[in-house]
Structure 1
């Protein structure tokens, strides 16, 4: 396989490494059950298709403190070259980066002029921190319609203050974690005629601490409810604007969820509902955002005749498809490989949203102790419109590749995460 030679920009530096095109990975098509097809190095020339990459690139402020076998692994002048060349080799149309620091100093200008045609961008920075989520798109293919930064520490404002005092398993600090989601509504200039098809990119990074699955679940619930509110506001704007007659917005959720495939976060996105782990989460009764979307299931202990209820959070959207699960019929073995952990934390999901539909009726809050059907198949029964289809995904690396330098990052793989690369296609209007 052909390779790229990487070296420091400093004339005095002689260290070089080789970085395989596509990092030695191949594309697999949805219909290819046995065979992974040849490498695809081209930008999508078909106006009905586009590629997206989602990648936690490991903030340099964290990388510089890692104990690695070779200092060149985390040297920024070398690592930024490996990151940039890796992104360039994917030949993608949309790039979603998490743990991105140095946005103004490096990434914004580099991406604007570093690719043919250039990339425009949006950025959401964590409050009080020097990294965040950056979304980039080919300026000759997409234009931004609207943008929203969502700061997840605001979730704490929507909880009952007594909640922290009564729930001993949750300290006050976890719900104030300064994580972010970057919402960018794009119009595809090459699809959908003069108006162009609408695409909402939700690029997010959830709390990392495995001790607090309820925090991650609430963060994801908050993001989904905020996205629902964002799209409903846009729908009202379209109603007022006679030039906006679009009906469907395709949504791509991507990022570092810090959640395994058997987690509550994954269930909320792909099944439509998730059981709240631990004690009940009490939302502010005066908060309109969370007025709908909570259900309770009554359960009885036959031995003690004790009545209790289980709390579920409800996704306001139809269940989303996981891109890698659609292609490979399973999630990757890992997307994060460090000296102390390996597992799948990163995903790309998609669903369609009908701007003309009223989804509120599917998310009414049910009173505590009411018996409800727990079959998630009955939730959000309206099937997605299938405007956007997942067609290809780039295979993940092997354990052997990850272990070449004991753990990630390495001289080949510049982050401790592996990039998710997916190809989508628009379905023609019926």
Structure 2
């Protein structure tokens, strides 16, 4: 049985332990979870799946429940600066010590069951949350839904944010196929909230098959923007003159609306005042989602890495920074639709600077050169060792009134924030 004294030691070992980085299926995690937690007791649970917007929905839920004074656990991935960000209690990442203790308990019961890095983390979060006397736990699905380790827990509310084409190797090549995978978090007689304005038919079909209580944005609940603030409604339930969501962009009204419905559906077990909802909407913060750093040349960070996410980014930039020259520091994972993303962003970007990442899944410079060559984008700069060099080059080419945009991957935003901390 392995044991490590540092979190880094545990994580390095976990990365090498399982033959596949992504290994979907609930059987292994489920067996270990039941060995850790034979009585199966869990706090009230909201599980969030979707292509984009999962982290935002969890952030709204966390802010609202904390404003009401509840003790909240939130499990999200990936992290941006430190692994501990994945497991938060009351808005704070838990300590290395707590995570190491959970890993030791998992190691003590797993026997010969092989677990992936993500499964270890998910089981650690669930184990820590179970021992932390929480009022509610918020769980973000890592990939898909049906076969993701998070789905070993039966949620009290299931929420799906949006469906677009991503991770085709695991989830399928159509929105219908991907929708079916994500709807795997639905349960019988349990609220199933869908915040995608045009959901694939497969979601409704799974809801019928599972006998879940389906609520779709635009049909069963929605929002209306006013000159000042906005209104939320679901059937005869309404909240009027709400403050603008603390996270920016049109899509955040959809995410906030979905989160409010989840809170309303759990109100029997966890009552929440209108005041707490208002406060949560205003106070919510999330690194790397349209995050603006005001410098002599302002820097906008966004983790968007698929066509749907960057369409939202284009709309936001056009509305918020009209007429500015935008210099993009850009990188992506090689399994993403890089050409599609470049095509969508091309009209708003003046200069591109490719920042290579050390991650083995990241697109290399030769691959990027090839994709840019086919895209007919000419104003692109290569030859940098990493983020810092690419960013400094972009900054040198900028003048007052311009905008620096860092986007395309969680790992790039992580490199950026780490560099800013150093400086």
Same fold (TM over 0.5): no
Q: TM-score, normalised by structure 1?
A: 0.24
Q: Identify which of structures 1 and 2 has the higher relative contact order when contacts are C-alpha pairs closer than 8 Å and 6+ apart.
A: 1
